[in-house]
Structure 1
């Protein structure tokens, strides 16, 4: 598959049929830890969308023990 100049890609017909996608369906594209997932928009709860949106975004901040020490003034 190739991404076109508009950033679009065609999902092959066999995969659309297998996963129940049809013309006009609302879909969401989710960044799931560096892997893009295309899902039916209605299949996700608000909480699931929020978790997927922030998954893997914490980075390499201070360790929990260091944060606890800072909040205690140690």
Structure 2
């Protein structure tokens, strides 16, 4: 049983690492060099250019939409 749980834990770690590589794929739009997503509630995504200037802010869930609705960024 202990060996089984160790294998499951190793699989979860491998999947988490693979997911982070997939999530860091080069999907930035023109003028944006990276995205920063803060995955706490609310989830907010920042599009950052090569000079580390925030170009866009996107809400990733409903709580973030409420938070950003009254904010001028």
TM-score range, shorter chain: under 0.3
Query: If the length of structure 1 is used for normalisation, what is the TM-score?
Result: 0.25
Q: Which has the higher strand share?
A: 2
Query: If the length of structure 2 is used for normalisation, what is the TM-score?
Result: 0.25
Structure ID, larger Rg:
1
